[in-house]
Structure 1
Amino acid sequence: MLTSLGFKRKDFSVVFSLSNVPEVQYFVARKTELVEIHKALSGDGSRRTVVLHGLGGIGKTQLSIAYTKRHKDSYSAIFWLNINDEDSLKQSFVKAAKQISREHPLAFQLSNLDAKENIDKIVDAVKVWLSLPHNTRWLMIYDNYDNPKLPGNTDPTAVDIQKSLPESYQGSIIITTQSSQVRNGYNIHIRQLSDIQDSLAILANVSRREGLRSDPDAIMLAKELDGLPLALATAGAYLDQVAISLSDYLRLYKQSWVQLQESTPELDSYEDRTLYSIWQISFDHIKQQNYLSAKLLCFWAYFDSQDLWLELLQHSDSDDPDWVRELTKDEVTFHQAVRVLSNHGLVEVHTSSQELIESRGYSIHGYVHSWTIHVLNRAWDPRLARLAMKFIGSHVPESESFRPWLTERRLLQHAMRCSYIVLNNLVPDDDIAWECHKLGLLYAGQDKLVEAEQMYQRALQVKEKIWGPEHTSTLKTVANLGNLYRRQSKLVDAEQMYQRALQGYKKVVGPEHISILSTINGLGVLYQHQGKLIEAEQMCWQALQGYEKVLGLEHTSTLATVYNLGVLYQHQYKLVEAKQMYQRALQGYEKARGPEYTTTIDTAYNLGVLYHNQGKLVEAEEMYQRALQGYEKALGPDNVITYIPALHTIWNLGSLCIYQDDMVKARTMCSKALLGYEKALGPEHPTSQLMRQSLCALDLKKPLSTSKRYKLLRKLRLR
């Protein structure tokens, strides 16, 4: 029995890694809490959950890290999820999927774990994998669950942890939170360090000073800091950087406490006053060392706490403060400024598994970020808020840029900070129209359609007020609202926006302006959704002729319209016209973006289906083989069997073999596809069941007459 359990655990094993978890060096062992966690999670593999709750900066995350390092051999896989917000949580699931895929390449059918359109599928796929029979020895840590969706919490960004939990009642879960109201498991209250020696150990380790355990001033300072690990670490970082005695530091601390009490009387929490006083001492020294570091820390209040990077800030112009241009003029200056903050324990390198196309960013603790907002920026500066929005809006990538979804995803949390600023009227309305429009584009690109609509509507209100309803900038937002409503299936609203934009453009620009052509193309796609195929064809042709004249025959916007016409003609059973459109789009995409671009491969596959339906089997096989080779090159031969479009291609190739009376090869191809469907979707999925039933119809012993072959192909649902 023990051997069997070990084998099952090995089947689901994933290499233990803390590569993207913010581990600190000053953690001191909480032996009692570690024992309590282990006891609560011990069991027979059925679901066990522990909730660690306590103050921010109290050491919940580091305690969880210590537990995983101590007991890693008790688990087949350990995954770390940041549940600070929904987007961070989804990115954590992407990281988990990559960890699983490295050990189990056939676990998922998704080809691109970085593609934005796959992210919800990835979350579901990981949850399904964690719910598989015998996969019971995993551990999930849901870290930073500080904004839980609870009764009375009206914050729209609150997170519902239940939606992210695997369905099967198995595995182990640790949740860290500042809220004592989270009741998802066995609750353990993480309190301040009670042993003064533990506090002295943190001070000594971080400050790199010897003899502190018996130093009366160190003991007094440790008592003043009341066992708060984050405060002790910050004080230690300051003592490491500054040649100051502990008695002098203690004097500065008490002075800072008094000043804070006078300037911020609303701070009721002793713990808040302790931390804020410590950080103020560090901030005063930072201003002396590097004024750019101090400016950056103040500016951080207008961004999200996580992942601030150089290129994001490199959008300043002559109207912006001089210090911004100086800070971001080159990498050396920027990183020097950040290093000062890091040396004082306020900033750390951002840990993320996400692929980067720009420099790595930096993050600050959520508690430190709160201090920058409520103390350093006690007098809210709308100019800095507007500047942060300008930088974020300027960094939203164009659709034609390289892998734009990676930058979009990275900007999301900063965009949410901007939305908070806009929706709470913390910047003047008459100065943010462009920024709101860009935020709408960003949200739409990441399928956050509700947030996109909010930003587009705010941009539209401001533009109509300042520039009027028929200004080209106003009409651009109107047209984008049309695109958004179409994606939301609000087809009547979409048509109203398109028609308003179209009529407005006709008054102020020429009939062949790109804005008009784009709006006409949008109307064509909308009409196709509405089943108005004649009107759709008219609109698409009008857009195509305009694009050809203005942008040329090979521009990607032209090719996209050609492809849309191919789809439209196929729906109308105009197969000759559809073939012409697909062939033209395929040749154009190959030239513009190369044969391995996904749009190129998809076009080849669709052309194969068209040939198949026309009975042109040689041409169909050529396109299928071309698509399959493209998928194999893009995904790798081992991963093709987990990618649904590639499986469709393999299955269709099998059907061609039936026409050619090569039943052995037909069964081989269809069996390979069925194996893939079962791996990708599960054996009980309706598609897998249908394909399994269809495969049973293949009779390898008897040659097929034409009529029987036709019946078989109908049963295989390939004609």
Structure 2
Amino acid sequence: MEQIDMVDFFISYTNADRAWAEWIAWELEEKGYTTVLQAWDFRPGSNFVLEMQKATENASRTIAVLSPDYLNAVYTKPEWAAAFVQDPTGENGTLLHVCVRPCELRGMLTSIIHIKLTGLDEAEAKSALLDGVERGRIKPSTKPGFPGSAQRQITEQPRFPGALPSIWNIPHQRNPNFTGRVQLMSDMQKALASGPTALTQVIHGLGGVGKTQLALEYAYRNMDKYNIIWWIRSEDSATLASDYAILAQELDLPDKGAADQNLITEAVKRCLEQQQNWLLVFDNADNPARINEYIPRGGLGHVLVTSRNPNWRGTASPLSIKELEREESVDFLVKRTGKIDTEAADALADALGDLPLALEQAGAYIEAAGISLSSYLDLFNTHRTKLLDHSYPPTDPRCKISTTWNISIDEVRKTCQAGVDLLNLCAFLAPDDIYEELIRDGAKHLPDSLSAAVTDPLIFTDAVKSLRRYSLVEFSGSAISVHRMVQAVVRDQLTTDRERWAEAAVRLVDDAFPFDSGDVQNWSLCSRLLPHALAAAEYAEASDVAASATARLSNRTGVYLYKRGWFAEAKETLERAHGIGKRVLGSEHPDTLSSMNNLALTLSDQGDLDGARQIQEEELEVRRRVLGSEHPSTLTSMNNLALTLYGQGDLDGARQIQEEVLEICRRVLGSEHPDTLTSMNNLALTLYGQGDLDGARQIQEEVLEVRRRVLGSEHPDTLTSMNNLATTLYGQGDLDGARQIQEEVLEIRRQILGEEHPDTSVSALNLLTTLVDIDDLIRARTVLENDLIWLLDRDPASLGADQRRIREMVSQITGQAE
């Protein structure tokens, strides 16, 4: 008879109280008890009902984690009822209630032992819990064994509810002068608390009205309610994806290092959908469609979006934010400046249109200059009269900002020209995380006045201080942030110097961006520089300056985006590089040819084979003419074109090119050179496609022998060779030989790449097909459930081409075709 391992406690809870349940289980196990907890012990793919029944039967006692959600849940009653039947009087303490939120007990529950944790700090709650379980308990005759096993390893103590978030990246300090917005804050709180699942709230309004400040204040006020608060810069899709990917690292997800961004995005969403008490803030998100793919569809968390776009209905709950109420503006100016002159504050607020950004700049100037509110109003009116002739309409918010900016920048110019120059440079970069090292290391590309300042720490510090004094920038200690509207006003105000600063910015970033941006070792730096690379290249192209640097930077940026799987963004960036290169550098320049090659690869991965082929044929013609037929770059171009022809079904054309490439590689590079092996592998695939399975097998076995010997059995190239050979064996009818190789490849790819990597999915499908064909349906079902069924839970748009195809096949196999 099978021996049953009894445990001390089965912990019954709802998902809303998972944090409490995990904390309770942890404390009990630290004390030496054993527990069963759904979050820790019920494995994916197991039968929930059977697991629950086994847990209640094998536990000496049951703890019900009580809250309003628990009492209203449909499936919790059977969990505690089993324990109640065993001990209806409560004499043995078989059923314990741990109350974690105020709730009203009814019926049979009122007679059960009650441990109250509400309103206690962590130490008090721990004491109450352990004292409570000791009363009336049946102590085991021996100390319970350690509850851990190979299937369950909880290595980090759950955070006690009420402590501050362990994961958060708020990029700005809290505004000590935040004023008003009482109704808006209340409406936002109510909206986010109105449902049991993940909710999205959009704050929309014109630039400068305080959208970001409201989101910041919400995050700071409510930080004790969340376990995760993550801020995502969302003005462009590449930066959005990059910030989202960093969250995967903070969560320490298995797919955090995946090259395919779709894998990372889905991994983060899946993680959040299974958790509670998280807040995502998408700042400056003007494209609802772009944001949708990043919003979790479940879980007990919240999403906050700031946007200038009001059209969010159908996607999220929109909340319009306008200028401050006059009373709020007056309160802000009095609080910000310390000047208790409400009449003058009212007049100044009226002149500034109650615009928060303008009010902040005015308040900063008044404080720094030590002048009165009335004196600043006189300055404002004087400058506004000068600006109205050639700047913005009086009703345009930029009119207010440009006026306050001119007043402040005139004052900075009197004492620190380096501060003015620094702000001019920052206007042509991304608004956030303009880090000091970037500026200092690129000093040689800056105008002399600023170059001297940034290489002298004291002068650079003075320049930053001069801008902070008037609220023109924020400084975190190592990086500068500038409001987007301030950047726009600075660029608009520059005339003859606009080209000079646009060129300085793009050369600065071009110098810093890694040369080998496709190398994963450089991705951390690429990620940080990405927003600046995109912004600087855009402004340089618009100003028609530094064409060579702009094309070079755009090409390297495009390669990084391509390698991360952001194909749409890569295409746009590489088209810029190619267009500038062709126009300015010429069609035969190496940088132009490089961008052509990278653009063609991107188009191919997007499925545009005709577009890829057209570019590759043009590129190959130039390389043959300029470099010769045996140059490595020419051979690479030939290989790429052959793969495109293969994808289009032109196998004869592909084979002709591949045989030519292989002959040159063997003669020039040697039979074991990586490029030679790649050429052999490509030719074997074409032979297979043409039906020459014997020829394909002979080449594949030769390639596999060399790769195993030189690279090792777990190298990706070796696994590719094994996979290809297995496919050929399958085609020849050697199903057992194919199965053995496929099982080995799948196991290695699971361990190295993870269960949801596209290559792992391909291996799983190959093995599934073989197992079905040899009638091993039990093992086929195991592969289907463990390695492929998860694809049905994914949005097809989030998957790559291979996994979309596999998903369709799995859907047909399981009878869930859409």
CA offset at residue 259 of structure 1? 2.9
Alignment of 1:228-627 (within 5 A): 228-235=355-362, 242=368, 244-247=369-372, 251=375, 254-255=378-379, 257-263=381-387, 265=389, 266-267=391-392, 268-269=394-395, 271-287=397-413, 290-309=416-435, 321-323=447-449, 325-326=451-452, 329=455, 337-338=463-464, 341-342=467-468, 344-348=470-474, 362-375=480-493, 377-379=494-496, 381-394=498-511, 395=513, 397-398=515-516, 401-417=519-535, 420-421=538-539, 424=542, 426-427=543-544, 432=547, 435-436=550-551, 438-443=553-558, 445-446=560-561, 447=567, 448=569, 450-452=571-573, 454-459=575-580, 461-463=582-584, 467=586, 482-544=600-662, 546=664, 560-561=678-679, 563-565=681-683, 567-568=685-686, 571=689, 573=693, 574-585=696-707, 587-589=709-711, 602=720, 625=744
Q: 1:674 maps to what in 2?
A: 785
CA distance in 2, matches of 1:317, 1:556: 41
CA offset at residue 547 of structure 1? 5.3
1:52 alignment partner, SS class: strand
CA distance in 2, matches of 1:331, 1:629: 52
CA distance in 2, matches of 1:23, 1:321: 31
CA distance in 1, matches of 2:735, 2:462: 66
Kept in 1, the 8 Å contact 2:181–2:324? The answer is no
Kept in 2, the 8 Å contact 1:53–1:178? The answer is yes
Matched, 1:112 2:255: yes
Change (3 A) 1:546 1:392: farther
Match of 1:6, as an amino acid?
A
CA offset at residue 290 of structure 1? 4.6
CA distance in 2, matches of 1:622, 1:4: 45
Q: 2:146 maps to what in 1?
A: none
Change (3 A) 1:245 1:682: closer
Kept in 1, the 8 Å contact 2:665–2:675? The answer is yes
Task: Point out where structure 1 has 5 or more consecutive residues left out of the alignment.
Answer: 106-110, 150-158, 205-210, 352-359, 694-719
Kept in 2, the 8 Å contact 1:485–1:494? The answer is yes
Kept in 1, the 8 Å contact 2:443–2:454? The answer is no
CA distance in 2, matches of 1:196, 1:502: 65
Change (3 A) 1:334 1:647: farther
Q: 1:24 maps to what in 2?
A: 174
Matched, 1:58 2:209: yes
Kept in 1, the 8 Å contact 2:233–2:243? The answer is yes
Tell which deviates more after alignment, 332-341 or 385-394. 332-341
Aligned residues: percent identity?
Answer: 21
The superposition leaves residues 67-105 of structure 1 with CA deviations (integer Å, 9 ceiling, x where unpaired) of: 345456777876644432323333344355556x55xx6
Identify which of structures 1 and 2 has the higher relative contact order when contacts are C-alpha pairs closer than 8 Å and 6+ apart.
Answer: 1
Kept in 2, the 8 Å contact 1:113–1:122? The answer is yes
Change (3 A) 1:544 1:612: same
The superposition leaves residues 443-466 of structure 1 with CA deviations (integer Å, 9 ceiling, x where unpaired) of: 354223541463255235414xx7
Match of 1:63, as an amino acid?
L
Change (3 A) 1:269 1:291: same
CA distance in 2, matches of 1:166, 1:386: 41
CA distance in 2, matches of 1:289, 1:552: 67
CA distance in 1, matches of 2:747, 2:224: 41
The superposition leaves residues 638-686 of structure 1 with CA deviations (integer Å, 9 ceiling, x where unpaired) of: xx4455645766898899999999x9xx968974772354456549966
2:319 alignment partner, SS class: strand
Match of 1:143, as an amino acid?
D
CA distance in 2, matches of 1:297, 1:368: 9
CA distance in 2, matches of 1:136, 1:619: 45
Kept in 1, the 8 Å contact 2:697–2:725? The answer is no
Residue of 169, 174, 177 corresponding to 2:307: 177
Kept in 2, the 8 Å contact 1:476–1:515? The answer is no
Kept in 2, the 8 Å contact 1:313–1:391? The answer is yes
CA offset at residue 28 of structure 1? 3.5
Change (3 A) 1:398 1:141: closer
Change (3 A) 1:116 1:202: farther
Alignment of 1:171-210 (within 5 A): 173-179=303-309, 183=313, 185-192=317-324, 194-195=327-328, 198-200=331-333, 202-203=335-336
CA distance in 1, matches of 2:677, 2:468: 49
TM-score by length of 2: 0.63
Kept in 1, the 8 Å contact 2:232–2:283? The answer is yes
Q: 1:144 maps to what in 2?
A: 284
Larger Rg belongs to = 2
Change (3 A) 1:629 1:343: farther
Tell which deviates more after alignment, 392-401 or 646-655. 646-655
Kept in 1, the 8 Å contact 2:574–2:599? The answer is yes
Matched, 1:6 2:4: no
Kept in 2, the 8 Å contact 1:601–1:631? The answer is no
Change (3 A) 1:439 1:258: same
CA distance in 1, matches of 2:299, 2:442: 52
Change (3 A) 1:337 1:126: same
Match of 2:319, as an amino acid?
N
Kept in 2, the 8 Å contact 1:306–1:350? The answer is no
Kept in 1, the 8 Å contact 2:170–2:229? The answer is no
TM-score by length of 1: 0.70
Report how many aligned residue pairs link the two structures: 635
CA distance in 2, matches of 1:16, 1:330: 37
The superposition leaves residues 453-510 of structure 1 with CA deviations (integer Å, 9 ceiling, x where unpaired) of: 63255235414xx75x656666555555554554454444544443443333344333
1:511 alignment partner, SS class: coil
Change (3 A) 1:20 1:327: same
CA offset at residue 367 of structure 1? 1.7
Kept in 1, the 8 Å contact 2:445–2:507? The answer is no
Change (3 A) 1:473 1:305: closer
CA distance in 2, matches of 1:227, 1:410: 35
Change (3 A) 1:187 1:502: closer
The superposition leaves residues 433-452 of structure 1 with CA deviations (integer Å, 9 ceiling, x where unpaired) of: 56336524533542235414
CA offset at residue 558 of structure 1? 5.4
The superposition leaves residues 355-401 of structure 1 with CA deviations (integer Å, 9 ceiling, x where unpaired) of: xxxxx7543211221122122x2446324323433444453632564
CA offset at residue 432 of structure 1? 1.8
The superposition leaves residues 531-558 of structure 1 with CA deviations (integer Å, 9 ceiling, x where unpaired) of: 3334434433443555567677777655
The superposition leaves residues 269-305 of structure 1 with CA deviations (integer Å, 9 ceiling, x where unpaired) of: 4754443344334434544555433222102222332
CA distance in 1, matches of 2:525, 2:737: 43
CA distance in 1, matches of 2:457, 2:685: 48
CA offset at residue 403 of structure 1? 3.5
Change (3 A) 1:526 1:60: closer
Kept in 2, the 8 Å contact 1:77–1:138? The answer is yes
Task: Point out where structure 2 has 5 or more consecutive residues left out of the alignment.
Answer: 1-11, 21-37, 40-157, 160-164, 562-566, 796-806
